[in-house]
Structure 1
């Protein structure tokens, strides 16, 4: 036990010593040589709207409505260019998980001139006021898997004072109450607009030493223009009804929501669902969109997401969910909204 404590102390001392050794360099404003030439897209330079679907059936519905289709196989993933509602688009599948979604979005950005990005798929509801089949459009996205997981519920003080974890290159978002010992933290994001900004410093002696550049962010807002288009058209998109039998049908709605939540975890816990809804004001949860939103922000691509609700996240297993998936209603409704949005969206 004494050896373990000694190693912990030595490790902390090593981090601080390394930062102190770099203090004279880090306190001087960094000089960068930015690339000023126009981006060279690896595959196709036509300005397009990028559409990422979560499941193949939804993508198939969109692909069936396209003309002038051309397929590209990049790193084993298929990207299809063409015209949808007389607009130039490129469509691909994200794959399930935050990492797959992030990689797909970056590939899309590197290989095609994406002037806007729509992500569409299904999600679990966090808001008990919403119904299975409703399509929700959130104003912004967060990823609560970005956390500081502590031993106790006390505010972490890894770097001296309560709430200070800056010497680890991290920053807590104390505006969001923790879930048990899990403290929500901000994400470091660098893009062309913020790369010279000092995002985070840590105190060593009497100096504030930079430990991160860019920004420390908690959430990623969807594009205001895209949001306004969706808000204008959403009441005019005729969604398909969900029927358990011919006498028992529900007419889904398109809802302009507040916040989407994404995590690498599949949410099957009612208590955590309630925390995400009541504390983080989450409307629904999935395993991809916040990653797509972050990559879009890092690449300065306007972004929005449409998610059709498949079930109540964290609820007991409902056998009707499988039937709902199999019916294809969620995919068809999401595709209808996407096509309606494409009609009104213009490349800028």
Structure 2
């Protein structure tokens, strides 16, 4: 089995991130910026003059560039954006008449979770919309397609087990089953996938593996089936089939850039996972911890090692544009639903 190589060798574990988020949650929303903070008055003005907002969250520069290159986002004429923590920039405006604050988190779970927590603590946020690119672990999910999952899981939390040890509670990955050229025993033994500890508002701690997408938001998204997605990368290269929106699949998140056919096959077989990424579960878990609804849109940019020929073609921009298009149409529908409910 070829080793799946992390994009960056982070020493920080998922559990450490949870502890940090638990501390942040204890601080009352809107009190995160102390009165002496130079941006305190600006944040108050943004919350008073607009919102509550949709928090639009992306992770990679390619995904932010897709938004900036479009005409979807209209910056606020009063306070179009601000920078907190010296490096984190937040943009304030509207999409299809709906108040939106968008932010790029940076890649991987730690950056994504912390950024969303700061977003929720600082601004009046009524829902989180996350879009981005992903790899496909499902042969029926093609390049350019956009997945709207109803569950995501963090599949990067492992318990290493001794060679020939007893089976665990959750799914195990037996390395020997993927030895090349033949299956056989492997002294690397086995890893057992572990659940996460979810701390949410006014609820006891819960161990959970599959994180649910907010059903109300998911139901609104089912009205986007007929959206036309981009099929051509450029004038000379187009995908063989028109991309589509796919509902109700499952997504996997880990601090791993997955380019391994064996591990891809394992995730699909054992967990019925269709997409793989590095941020979605962290964003959904942070939203759940704060009691804020969240939905995820992931465009397929590669096949996670499933097809070397196709995956070598860069389709990140097309996947990002398609995921953004679905997210923008969803925000428009969300705004319409809010107007109807207020009447």
User: TM above 0.5, one fold?
Assistant: yes
8 Å CA contact retained: 1:140, 1:219: yes
| Residue 186 (structure 1) aligned with residue 195 (structure 2) | yes
Question: CA 1:308–1:153 in structure 2 vs 1: closer, same or farther (change >3 Å)?
Answer: farther
Bigger CA drift: 90-99 or 307-316?
307-316
Q: What is the CA distance between 1:87 and its match in structure 2?
A: 0.5
Greater Cα radius of gyration, structure 1 or 2: 1
Q: What is the CA distance between 1:103 and its match in structure 2?
A: 1.3
Q: What is the CA distance between 1:309 and its match in structure 2?
A: 0.5
8 Å CA contact retained: 1:243, 1:250: no
TM-score by length of 1: 0.73
Q: Calculate the aligned-residue CA RMSD, in Å.
A: 2.5
Correspondence for 1:99 among 110, 115, 118: 110
3-state secondary structure, aligned to 2:218: helix
Question: CA 1:321–1:115 in structure 2 vs 1: closer, same or farther (change >3 Å)?
Answer: farther
Correspondence for 2:327 among 323, 338, 344: 338
1:59 equivalent in structure 2: 64
2:181 equivalent in structure 1: none
8 Å CA contact retained: 2:302, 2:310: no
2:182 equivalent in structure 1: none
**What does the per-residue CA deviation read over 1:58-86, in whole Å, with 9 as the maximum and x for residues that have no partner?**
33443442224311111211110111111
2:143 equivalent in structure 1: 132
Kindly report structure 1 stretches of 4+ aligned residues shifted beyond 6 Å: 34-38
In structure 2, how many angstroms separate the alpha carbons of the residues matched to 1:248 and 1:97? 28
Q: What is the CA distance between 1:102 and its match in structure 2?
A: 1.0
8 Å CA contact retained: 1:59, 1:91: no
Q: What is the CA distance between 1:193 and its match in structure 2?
A: 2.3
Question: CA 1:253–1:38 in structure 2 vs 1: closer, same or farther (change >3 Å)?
Answer: closer
In structure 1, how many angstroms separate the alpha carbons of the residues matched to 2:296 and 2:238? 33
TM-score by length of 2: 0.74
Question: CA 1:280–1:37 in structure 2 vs 1: closer, same or farther (change >3 Å)?
Answer: closer
List gaps (5 residues or longer) in structure 2: 1-24, 34-42, 175-189
Correspondence for 2:132 among 121, 124, 141: 121
8 Å CA contact retained: 2:302, 2:315: no
3-state secondary structure, aligned to 1:106: helix
Q: What is the CA distance between 1:343 and its match in structure 2?
A: 0.5
In structure 1, how many angstroms separate the alpha carbons of the residues matched to 2:227 and 2:62? 20
Q: What is the CA distance between 1:324 and its match in structure 2?
A: 2.3
In structure 1, how many angstroms separate the alpha carbons of the residues matched to 2:303 and 2:318? 17
Bigger CA drift: 185-194 or 133-142?
185-194
List gaps (5 residues or longer) in structure 1: 1-33, 157-162, 164-173, 198-213
2:9 equivalent in structure 1: none
